[in-house]
Amino acid sequence: MKNLLGALGAGVAVATATVAVALTSQADTCPPSTACPTTVIFTVTAGDGLQITVPGGSADIGNGTPGSQISGQLGSITVTDQRTALTASWTATVWGTDFTTGGGSGAETVPNSAVSYWSGPATAKTGTGTFVPGQPTASDAETLDGYYTAFSKISGSGDNSATWNPTIVVDVPTQAVTGTYTGTVSHSVA
pLDDT in tens, 1-53: 445 444 444 444 443 344 444 444 557 889 999 999 888 888 878 788 999 99
Is 34 within the bounds of a domain? no
Residue 36 lies in a domain: no
Range of the domain at 64: 49-189
67-117 pLDDT, tens per residue? 999 999 999 999 999 999 999 999 999 999 999 999 999 999 999 999 999
Report yes or no on whether pTM surpasses 0.85: no
Q: Cβ atoms within 10 A of the Cβ of 130, count?
A: 10
**DSSP string spanning 67-90?**
T-EEEEE---EEEEEES--SS--E
Is the residue at 93 inside a domain? yes
Residue type, 140: D
Report if residue 19 sits inside a domain: no
- What are the b/e assignments for 94-104, b being 16+ CB within 10 Å? bbbebbbbeee
**Total number of domains in the chain:** 1
> What CATH number does residue 115 fall under?
2.60.40
- CB within 8 A of 73, min separation 6: which ones? 59, 61, 165, 166, 167, 168
Question: Is residue 160, in this structure, part of any structural domain at all?
Answer: yes
Rounded to an integer, what distance in angstroms lies between the CA atom of residue 135 and that of residue 94?
11
| Sheet arrangement for strand 131-133 | 131-133, 148-153, 90-96, 185-189
Q: Would residue 42 count as lying in a domain?
A: no
